Amino acid sequence: MLVVAALGGNALLKRGEPLTAEAQRQNVQVAAAALAAIVKAGHRLVVTHGNGPQVGLLALQGAAYRPNEAYPLDVLGAETEGMIGYMIEQELENALGHDRPVATLLTQVVVDSRDPAFAKPTKFVGPVYEKDEAEARATAAGWTIAADGDKWRRVVPSPKPVEIPDLKVLQLLLDQGVIVICTGGGGIPVVRRDDGSLIGVEAVIDKDAASALLARQLGADALLLLTDVDAVYRDFGSDSAAPIPKLTTEEARALGVPAGSMGPKVAAAGNFAECGGFSGIGRLEDAVAILNGRAGTRVAEDYPATHSSRSRNSSAIEAAMSEDTSKPIYPQPARAVKQGPDALADLVAQQPG
């Protein structure tokens, strides 16, 4: 199977831990072991990850500049893709004994400049603060802040992802057997201008939503949304709370999960499962068990969950690059794919002038 595994923020930095390289590397080593188990089980793998704490840290570092010299969120997002991708790439190579190629790709993701999310920031970034400190920082830096549990954090716009223009490059890497780390932090947010060119915008795209879009456009068989909770729970936080082992897409939509950390995961899981694959939500260390239906919450269009091997080919990629990027992309019947250096030459030849 082709598996897209989306690492939650806890895979890189647990709540309350210091934002240090050492702490992140220790957590990434644990994540790499779980990801390596997916590969060793015989599956092809694409890895995505969050970046909320890291992009917020870089924004704080940027506060040392004059206000008009601070780097925008799209550039900071690109920086975190490189930083986090490097750590995951290295530790995953180590966990696999360096017998599989692993590569990190900085990934642009197109959003709609008219998305109402730009007027209503909701995405948490950066470290947590006590309310008084958060309010002081917000006043000084012009932030919008919101409560995150019993703490407070900065929030920024989180528009819906609509297109992944780097999809052909991702497919080329997969066709060559590469484990790809991409779409980090939801991808680098860009908008398409009237002349077709791209430009970055101040936003952070939801990682789960972008991972679902990526999985659909690649024609993946499974989407894993990995976190520090063992499953989706009914009546979470109450005495009657109980894990939910299976959900249909219709049941997932009707579940009414609060719009906290689990809400976007349930929405993304249902969005992907509607196209014929299945999604799994659960703990990072249970990744293989979730794939096998022995742990977590599985979301599929119907039960019993049946899914066949779905074609992953350049026809889907060509559709993704079509003019109408607002519609979901579905893979088409497979065709031969060139391997080796000729594949790269063909890819270059296909690019618009």
Nearest one of 266, 264, 232, 262 to 250, comparing CA atoms: 266
| Active-site position among 8, 85, 126, 265 | 265
| Active-site position among 8, 10, 126, 296 | 10
Q: How buried is 112 (Cβ within 10 angstroms: 0-12 exposed, 13-18 middle, 19+ buried)?
A: middle
> 304 preceded by cis ω (within 30°)?
yes
Is residue 27 part of the annotated active site? The answer reads no
Q: Which DSSP state fits 310?
A: P
Nearest one of 208, 33, 16, 29 to 109, comparing CA atoms: 208
| Active-site position among 8, 77, 123, 282 | 123
Is residue 338 part of the annotated active site? The answer reads no
| Active-site position among 52, 77, 126, 207 | 207
User: Is residue 53 within a helix (H) or strand (E), and if so which, with residue range?
Assistant: helix 52-62
Is residue 265 part of the annotated active site? The answer reads yes
| Active-site position among 8, 9, 50, 186 | 9
Residue 199: CA count within 13 A, CB half-sphere: 6
Cβ-contact 193, 107 below 8 angstroms: no
Partners of 146 in the β-ladder? 153
Active site positions, annotated: 9-10, 123, 207, 265
